[in-house]
Amino acid sequence: MSENRANAKKESQGGYIGFVAGMFSGVAKNLVGHPFDTIKVRLQTSENRFKGPLDCVYKTARLEGIRGFYKGCTPPLIGWVVMDAVMLGSLTNYRQCLMETVYSGQEELPLVGHCLAGVGAGWTVSFVAAPIEQIKARLQVQYDPKSRLYSGPINCLSKIVGSSGIRGLYSGLFSTMVFRTNFLFWWGSYEIFTTQLRQHTHLSDVAVNFWSGGLSATVFWVFAYPADVVKQVVMTDSPTSPRHATWAAAVAHVYRTRGWRGFFRGFVPSILRSFPANAAALAAFEFVNTALR
């Protein structure tokens, strides 16, 4: 009887533990990845300002100093904590829900179940991510005091809501959901890497989570990157008189002005960022998740 009670308690704790572990994941990701993210967003949204990633790094450092790489850092510092808590917490609950309903007769959740849970988590976190990422992106593309529209995240939030209402904060929601549909590749490949590393290596659990997290994030970005470019174009558009009325119009604009290569502009810093940032984040998530359980 006491064993059943303990198991029930563990199951009831599963939901909030996933959210708490996700908070630690968000902190780790922001500390490691934000400078790479700034370079990525600048390359994605500028037309002819930079020749490539190294030129962007050089000009940012020369004109703005180290602080330039951390512009827009406050929204993700808070936002990624919230976003990863929602993403990884909902992922945990979607997995549990699928296991208890669709796959109740199986001992473990199959690969397709992990993919479905990943898509569900991606769509869920989009409602949190869309306004946070929009504020971050708008701050990241402020290059000098003359062109600066916002003094900080609160000012940016106030101006967007003042000119376009709450709807303005969610102007990039659809593009965010399209981008995060690719979570099926992330969490599907994460399950594959985790299983293979545990079966064929003698790595510790933390090391397995680190390598699986980094490798699966790389797989995700290979598939998701074009959608991320379109998302950034939508989010940095004018909130009052946007050039792109729809997501499809933004896709057409990128292709018309940059060609197919435009969908991969900024890909190098994104890939360089994806492994260390997400490896650290998922190692932190799994460590805290295991410790709390």
Tens-digit pLDDT profile for residues 136-193? 888 878 777 777 888 888 898 999 898 888 888 898 899 999 999 999 999 999 999 9
Q: What is the 3-state secondary structure (H, E, C) of the chain?
A: CHHHHHHHHHHHHHHHHHHHHHHHHHHHHHHHHHHHHHHHHHHHHCCCCCCCHHHHHHHHHHHHCHHHHHCCCHHHHHHHHHHHHHHHHHHHHHHHHHHHCCCCCCCCCCHHHHHHHHHHHHHHHHHHHHHHHHHHHHHHCCCCHHHCCCCCHHHHHHHHHHHHHHHHHCCCHHHHHHHHCCHHHHHHHHHHHHHHHHHHCCCCHHHHHHHHHHHHHHHHHHHHHHHHHHHHHHHCCCCCCCCCCCHHHHHHHHHHHHCHHHHHCCHHHHHHHHHHHHHHHHHHHHHHHHHHC
pLDDT of residue 6: 40
State how far the alpha carbon of 110 is from the alpha carbons of 9, 162, 273, 283, in Å. Answer: 25, 47, 29, 22
pLDDT of residue 12: 41
| Domain segments of the chain as ranges | 13-292
pLDDT of residue 76: 63
Average pLDDT over residues 73-79: 67
Angle 112-213-180 (CA atoms, 0-180°, nearest 5)? Answer: 55
Beta carbons of 76 and 136 less than 8 angstroms apart:
yes
pTM equals 0.74
The lowest-confidence range among 14-23, 154-163, 225-234 is: 14-23
**pLDDT grade for 2, boundaries at 50, 70 and 90:** very low
Q: Answer left, alpha or beta for residue 71, where phi above 0 means left and psi between -120 and 50 means alpha.
A: beta
pLDDT of residue 10: 42
- Asked if pLDDT for residue 90 goes beyond 90, the answer is yes
Torsion of CA 251, 255, 256, 259, to 10 degrees: 170
Tokens standing for residue 262: 């435009």
Closest CA to 41 of 152, 134, 163: 134
**pLDDT grade for 7, boundaries at 50, 70 and 90:** very low
- Asked if pLDDT for residue 74 goes beyond 80, the answer is no
- If you classify domain 13-292 with CATH, what class do you get? mainly alpha
pLDDT of residue 252: 94
